[in-house]
Amino acid sequence: MPNDDEKPALLGKIKDKLIRSKEDWAKQGRLLTGRPDFGRVNRLPPGQKEVTNWPVLDLGIQPHIRPQDFRLEIGGLMENPVIWTLDEFMAQPQEDFVSDIHCVTQWSRYDNHWRGVSARHIVELVRPGARAQYVLFTARDGYTTNVKRMVFEEPNVLLAHLWEGKPIPREHGGPVRVVIPDWYFWKSPKWVTRIEFAAEDKHGFWELRGYHNEGDPWKEERYS
């Protein structure tokens, strides 16, 4: 079992100021250029700036998940729900991916090398039902985010444990984080603990606070 101080809802430590200012961004429509790039002509989505470092964004909690405490639950509307330990996760087929990151706070980082388990493999294994058109992620810090099932099934989506050949550091969501490269990075939960397939959509943490339900960077889907 995780230690008490690693459980979500440590509300006292939550970055209220950061959350409020990001809610204000949504109300003001900050960073919108009004020039979406529907054809994805440019590698850099509108309003973004390329960085070469890797910024850290969280709600004030960076859970320390010891390997023996790691559990990943994949459940909901499906034939074969699973609960994996870290060893069981690592025993799944491993694949390499290269993708760009686009954070809604304006930074983009090119050519990230990931290794992990593809979302496609997971879908083949758990066999979600036809009615399961939505996916809700939950993370150890209490964070949640939602995507359509067809977004999760894109071939470049994975559950990553290596970045640039090294274990993903704790602050970036290690031991295992989701990577959904074609969407703003708030759709890529760190410290993922549960992936739920459902017939109904459900807003996650930022989607409840003024952020777009889909989040396509080329369409500037920053806010709802």
Ligand X SMILES: Nc1nc2c(c(=O)[nH]1)N[C@H]1C(S)=C(S)[C@@H](COP(=O)(O)O)O[C@H]1N2
| Residue placing its CB nearer to Mo ion in the complex, 61 or 117 | 61
Q: What is the distance between the alpha carbons of residues 67 and 23, in angstroms, rounded to a whole number?
A: 35
Site string for Mo ion, 48-77 (x = CB under 5 A): ---------x--------------------
181 is a site residue for ligand X (CB under 6 A): no
To the nearest whole angstrom, how small is the minimum distance from the Cβ of residue 222 to ligand X? 12
Assess 25 for contact with Mo ion (CB under 5 A): no
Find all residues with CB under 8 Å of 81, minimum gap 6, and list them: 73, 74, 75, 126
- Under a CB-based contact definition with an 8 Å cutoff, are residues 158 and 119 in contact? yes
**Residue 190 to residue 71: CA distance in whole angstroms:** 13
Task: Mark the segment that binds ligand X (CB under 6 A) among 24-32, 124-132, 146-154, 186-194.
Answer: 186-194
Q: Applying CB under 6 A, does 179 fall inside the site for ligand X?
A: no
- Asked if 103 touches Mo ion (CB under 5 A), the answer is yes
Q: In whole angstroms, what separates CA 168 from the centre of its chain?
A: 14
Separation between Cα atoms, residue 8 and residue 134, nearest integer Å: 23
CA distance 47 to 217: 9
**Binding track, positions 99-138, relative to ligand X; x by CB under 6 A:** ----x-----------------------------------
Min dist CB 168 to Mo ion, Å, is: 17
Q: Any contact of residue 185 with ligand X (CB under 6 A)? A: yes
Q: Which of 76, 118, 157, 172 binds ligand X (CB under 6 A)?
A: 172
Give the number of residues in contact with Mo ion, rule: CB under 5 A: 4
Minimum CB distance to ligand X, residue 220 (Å)? 16
Is 188 one of the binding residues for ligand X (CB under 6 A)?
Answer: yes
Binding Mo ion (rule: CB under 5 A), the pick from 186, 191, 205, 211 is 186
74 interacts with ligand X by CB under 6 A = no
185-218 core/surface letters (b: 16 or more CB in 10 A; e: else): bbbbbbbbbbbbbbeeeeebbbbeebbbebbbbb
207 binds ligand X (CB under 6 A): no
Task: Using CB under 6 A, list all residues that contact ligand X.
Answer: 54-59, 103, 139, 141, 143, 172-173, 185-186, 188-191
